[in-house]
Structure formats: C-alpha cells, structure tokens
Amino acid sequence: MKGRPILGTLAVLGYVIMIVPILFVVSTAFTAGDALTFPPQGVSLRWFGEALAYQPFVGALLSSLQLAVVSTALALLLGVPVTLAIQRGKIPGKSLVEGLFLSPLVVPELVVGLALYQQIMIGLHQTSFVALLVGHTVLLLPYAVRVTGASLALADPAVEEAARGLGASPLRTFFSVTLPLLRPGIFSAGLLSFVTSFNNVPLSLLLQSRQFRTLPVTMLDYVQQSYDPMIAAMSTLILAGTVVIAIVAEKTLGFAKIFGGINK
C-alpha cells in the first residue's frame, strides 16, 4: 500500500464497509442490557443462553441444517454426472446444456421461489419441505456442475483413457481414476452448496410453512417483532459456525481455489 495513497484509502474504505457492521453485531451480542444499543451496557453471555433456549430458533436451525444437507447431497448426485457428461462425453449442444444448468444463477431467486410456490405447493399440494428441497437443489446445481467441472477440465482425459487401455473396467476407472480427480471439486461444490442453502432467504421465505421454516427466515421474522440483543447473539453464533467452515476450507483446499471456480 506504500506510495499508493488513493488506492490504499479506497481499499481501507472497502474493508471497513465489509467488516465493521459484523463487528457491531458481535459487540452488541455480549451486552448485559435489554436493548440493542451501542455501546453495549456491560458484558454478559445471557443473550446467548436466551437464543439457545428460544425454541423457534433451535427448531429452525435444525430445519436449516436438514435442508442444507439433503439439498447439497441431491445437487451433487444430479450435478456430478452432468459434469462428467459435459466434460468427457460427446453430447450435442454442449454449451446449451451447460448454459441451462448455470441459468439458476441468472434468474432472480424470488422468481424461482414464486414459481415453485404456485406449481408445487398450490398445484401439486406438496409440503413446504418438498418445494424447498426442489428449489434449493435447483439453486445449488450450478455449483455442482461448474465447480466440479472446473477441477475436471484441468485433469487430462488421457489418464482415464490409459486406465481403460490397461484393462480397467469403466466402473473401476471411474472409482479409482476419475473420482479422485473430481474430489477437490466435489468438496468445494459441497461446501459452497451447503453454505448457500443454509443462508438462502428468498426461496426459504416464499416456500415456508408453519411446520417448516429455516433459520434466516425465522430471524427476519423475529427482528420485525422484537428488536433485542438475542438476534445479535444468534447472529454471532452463526458467525462462529461460518468461521469454522471457513477455516476448514482454507486449511484443506484454500479459499482462492474454492471460490476460483465460481466466475470462470
């Protein structure tokens, strides 16, 4: 940053906007007072206790985790074969197919959410969980296809051909050659998918029901009714969980690698 005063100032301003609001949430979570004010009054952990004892938050957290795990698994199960077909198979209209699988990134999530609400929940009388599972999986498919695709595109298909040439069956080739090549991509896609599903608001908001409601939606609801430090405490707990995921990501593959696949 030395000798670049303008660039340096802009960069600092950028970091301030990205990070400082998060610090404010954390600091108010530790307040001993009753109001979400700054500076916080005294230090205590009481709001963490209240957040973890608040049944709607706990129930919603479990719902969110359940939805995130199942939709991530489904997206990988559907998406990885598609990646294989696109990268290794000879299919007509390859770029069109790839474009179709990436299109959920472009279409506004509220549009997808409202569409599934009308077709699946009203039209087919399915539960909120079914609609959410379809919606979240659709949203995660681009990661499953693009991020795993990026790791496969780097690998030389000749390795797989060599295995086949040396007498390995197609199944054996897949499990002992292709799958290890795919593993970092699958890991990155799984991580991004889990986080994306867990944090999603537009779909989860439109497709919620009294029986099934995710944590971000429950928190949005809560803050409209009562504005107290419990919401900051819950946010801080989510932050802590996210930091753990981030450290795992950084230690295993590295951030740059995981996120590099998104916008290539």
Partner 1 sequence: MSRKPALLLIPGLVFILFGFAIPSAIMLLAPPSTDTADVFLRFGAMLTDPYDLAIIWRTVRIGLIVTAACVVLGFPIAYLLARSTSRFAGMWLALAIFPLLLSNVVRTFGWLVILGSQGAFGQLLVVLGITDQPPQLLYTELAIVLGLIQLFLPLAVISCYSAVAQVDAGLDHAARGLGATKSQTLWQIVIPLSRPGILIAGTLVFAGATTAYTTPYLLGGSSQRMLSTQLFSYASVSVDWAAASATALIMTMLVFLVSGLSSLISRKAGVTS
Residues of this chain, 33-52, that bind partner 1 according to CB under 8 A: 35-39
Instruction: Find the part of the chain contacting partner 1 (CB under 8 A) among 45-53, 55-63, 105-113, 182-190.
Output: 105-113
For 243, residues 6+ apart whose C-beta sits below 8 A from its C-beta are none
Output 79 or 185, the one with its CB closest to partner 1.
Answer: 79
Q: Tell me the CA distances in angstroms from 181 to 3, 157, 159, 174, 261, one per residue in order.
A: 44, 10, 10, 10, 15
Q: Which of 52, 58, 69, 115 binds partner 1 (CB under 8 A)?
A: 115
Site mask for partner 1 (CB under 8 A), range 177-216, x = bound: -x----------------x--xx-xx--xx---------x
Q: Tell me the CA distances in angstroms from 161 to 82, 158, 169, 228, one per residue in order.
A: 19, 5, 11, 61
Site membership for partner 1, residue 17 (CB under 8 A): yes
Q: Which of 90, 172, 186, 233 binds partner 1 (CB under 8 A)?
A: 90
Q: Cβ of 25: how many Cβ atoms within 10 Å?
A: 18
Residue with tokens 């299919």: 91
Euclidean distance between CA atoms 62 and 60, whole angstroms: 5
Q: Cβ of 229: how many Cβ atoms within 10 Å?
A: 28
Q: Cβ of 231: how many Cβ atoms within 10 Å?
A: 21
Work out how close the CB of 45 gets to partner 1 at its nearest, in angstroms, rounded to a whole number: 18
Q: Which of 51, 60, 120, 132 binds partner 1 (CB under 8 A)?
A: 120
Instruction: Find the part of the chain contacting partner 1 (CB under 8 A) among 41-49, 54-62, 120-128, 148-156.
Output: 120-128
- Residue 45 is given by DSSP the state S
Site membership for partner 1, residue 85 (CB under 8 A): yes
Extract the tokens encoding 132: 């959410």
Q: Which of 18, 43, 158, 166 binds partner 1 (CB under 8 A)?
A: 18
Q: Which of residues 56-75 bind partner 1 (CB under 8 A)?
A: none
Work out how close the CB of 210 gets to partner 1 at its nearest, in angstroms, rounded to a whole number: 14
Q: Which of 117, 143, 187, 212 binds partner 1 (CB under 8 A)?
A: 117
Q: Is 213 helix (H, G, I), strand (E, B) or coil?
A: coil
Output 48 or 101, the one with its CB closest to partner 1.
Answer: 101
Q: Which of residues 122-141 bind partner 1 (CB under 8 A)?
A: 122-123, 134-135, 137-138, 141
Work out how close the CB of 49 gets to partner 1 at its nearest, in angstroms, rounded to a whole number: 19
For 151, residues 6+ apart whose C-beta sits below 8 A from its C-beta are 181, 182, 184, 185, 188, 261
Extract the tokens encoding 175: 């499990």
Q: Are 245 and 193 in contact (CB under 8 A)?
A: no
Q: Which of 50, 58, 69, 104 binds partner 1 (CB under 8 A)?
A: 104
